[in-house]
Structure 1
Amino acid sequence: MSREKGRVAEDKATVFLEENGYEIIERNFYSRFGEIDIIVRKERVLHFVEVKSGDDYESAIANITPTKLSRIIKTANVYMKKHNTECDFTFDALVVTLDEVVLVENITL
């Protein structure tokens, strides 16, 4: 996926999250382990959101591999230590296709 397509998908994801009551905390947080696309808060829970886009849901969600999820978890730990954050948190995926935006909460492999 090109950088431009990724940015467009993240912009759509951000609008979706705001419309559904999430407070945007940060976008594109980087650590030496990787990147978290969007960090949001809702009802005192911190959500680390991986945005994936594609022609259909299945092809987009399949790009969240065990290695990718491991990097997200490590990067989230860096974020929480850097910001001295102690709260409930979850790892979510937001799938953006031409037809829909789907939030998948609490992703695991």
Structure 2
Amino acid sequence: MSKHKGDEAEKRAISYLEDLGYKIIEHNFYAKKLGEIDIIAVKNNIYHFCEVKSGNDYESAINNITPSKLSKIKRSLNYYLQIKKLNVAYCIDAIIVTPTNIDLLENITL
């Protein structure tokens, strides 16, 4: 997928979250040598570390969330909490963006 398509999917995901009442704290947070978190949002005092995946259909997008990717997100979010000195409730979410739909999967784990 091109960077342009990925950026567009993230913009759609941000708008979607805002419509649901989430406050966007940051997007494209990069933790050097650890990985990137696409969107960091807060709702009801819970931090949501969101991975955005897009594709032509739901299956192709969701299959890109691998154990390796989740591990990188976990390391990056721990780094984020440490540097921001936060002790908060949080979860890892996936936002699946297709040409016709957006799905939010809260609290994904393996």
Which residue of the partner structure matches residue 47 of structure 1? 48
Structure 2 counterparts to residues 9-88 of structure 1, below 5 A: 9-31=9-31, 32-88=33-89
Q: How many residues align structurally?
A: 109
The SS at the match of 1:59 is helix
The TM-score, its normalising length taken from structure 1, stands at 0.99
Q: Which runs of 5+ in 2 are unaligned?
A: none
Aligned equivalents of 1:60, 1:82: Cα separation in 2: 31
Q: Which amino acid aligns with 2:15?
A: V
- Identical aligned residues as a percent: 52
Look up the equivalent residue of 2:75 and give its one-letter code: K
The root-mean-square deviation of aligned C-alpha atoms, in Å, is 0.5
CA distance in 2, matches of 1:103, 1:3: 21
Cα offset, 1:108, TM superposition: 1.0
Q: Any stretches of 5+ residues in structure 1 without a counterpart?
A: none
Q: Which runs of 4+ in 1 moved over 4 A?
A: none
Which amino acid is 2:34 matched to?
Answer: F
- SS in structure 1 at match of 2:85: coil
Residue 3 of structure 2 aligns with which residue?
A: 3
Tell me the alpha carbon deviations over residues 51-99 of structure 1, each in whole angstroms, 9 at most, x when there is no partner: 0000111110110000000000000000000100111000000000011
| CA distance in 2 between partners of 1:58 and 1:85 (Å) | 35
**1:16-51: CA deviations, max 9, x gaps?**
000000000000001121000000000000000000
